[in-house]
Amino acid sequence: MSEATRESWQSVVAPYVGADILKSVFQLVSTLALLIAVLVATYWISERSLLLAGLALPLASGLLVRTFIIMHDCAHGSFLPSVRANNIIGRFTGLLAFTPFDQWRRDHAIHHASSGDLDRRGHGDVTTWTVREYLAKTPKQQLGYRLSRHPLLLVLGGPFYLVYTLRFRPRSKATGKRQLWSIWWTNIAIVGLFAFLFAMGGVRAMTIYALAYYGAAVTGVWLFYVQHQFEDAYWESHEEWDYETSAIKGSSHLRLPKILQWFTGSIGLHHVHHLAPKIPNYRLQKAHDDNPRLQTAPVITIPSGIAALRLSLWDEDRRRLIGFSDLKRQHLA
């Protein structure tokens, strides 16, 4: 990328970079207050009707997603001007989302620096093979990959995989001594959180929180999937890879109803976020609306995002993501 090009897009996003302290504090306080209120209400309702409690759980899951987005902004240093404040809030909200803040922050930074780069896959992304890589594997390896990319296993099993990799099997390239301490202190804190829940409301309270987390994690897995996995996604070799193109063409604009955009902290405007991760979540929409240059990102809706779950391989020749059925048709043609 030329220096002139870099300065060009940086001037576009510059007005939206930087935290508004009042907005950030209000978002934090209101989100956590609503989360506590909904969890308490769900517990109270569960004593009277498990069905009604089940209907209330999605609200708690949505608020945990919003809590995670606050942690996400803290990881980028965009939530508050103070590094120390971002770290404190990030670690606390990370605990609520069962995420070791320092480890996740480092892995996520590598993801931002390499998203769409075929030669630097493997950090904070969904494992994706090219067609040629897939065809070169053994039948056993192909089966393992097909299972890992099955939509139901990917979305419903994804939370268990996240817990396993973040808790017990951190990736070495993104893991130093500080990250290891983050992982184990978070593990200890999670045990403390569940001990507190048990003391307050027994097994029922622990179960409600665990189910709310699972719903949030399922939502998060799907959100992250559709942010970079769609038919016309951007993938290039390292030599050809370009940061701005990767951000705008390789990250989707997920259009959600306003209420869902609120719960997800506008993370559906992922192309804006990838271009300028220092923009806090509550300014992403304005940055997008004010700049036609940012309105060229691939648009994804809920139906097309669900349909995209079938896409599993990068076709080097057609330069698009395809499904296993597409590969089968190609071989039969």
Other Cβ atoms closer than 10 A to 132 = 12
Q: What is the mean pLDDT of the chain?
A: 90
**For the chain, which ranges sit under pLDDT 70?**
1-7, 124, 164-175, 331-333
Residue 151: which residues within 8 A CB-CB, separation 6 or more? 309, 310
Look at the block and give the residue holding tokens 């300014």.
283
What local confidence, expressed as pLDDT, does residue 121 receive?
83
Domain count, the chain: 1
Tokens linked to 136 = 């070169």
What local confidence, expressed as pLDDT, does residue 175 receive?
66
Short-list 275, 305, 300, CA closest to 288: 275
What local confidence, expressed as pLDDT, does residue 333 receive?
44
What local confidence, expressed as pLDDT, does residue 2 receive?
46
What local confidence, expressed as pLDDT, does residue 35 receive?
98
* DSSP element (H, E) containing 53: helix 50-75
* Dist. CA 182–CA 184, nearest whole Å: 6
Residue 140: which residues within 8 A CB-CB, separation 6 or more? none
CA dist list (Å): 224 to 64, 66, 218, 319: 15, 14, 10, 21
* Dist. CA 110–CA 104, nearest whole Å: 10
Short-list 127, 184, 195, 189, CA closest to 161: 127
Q: What is the dihedral of CA 181, 184, 185, 191, to 10 degrees?
A: 180
pTM for this entry: 0.90
pLDDT, tens only, 170-182: 555 666 777 778 8
End-to-end CA distance of the chain: 40
Identity of residue 131: V
Residues of the domain holding 169: 3-332
pLDDT, tens only, 246-278: 999 999 999 999 999 999 999 999 999 999 999
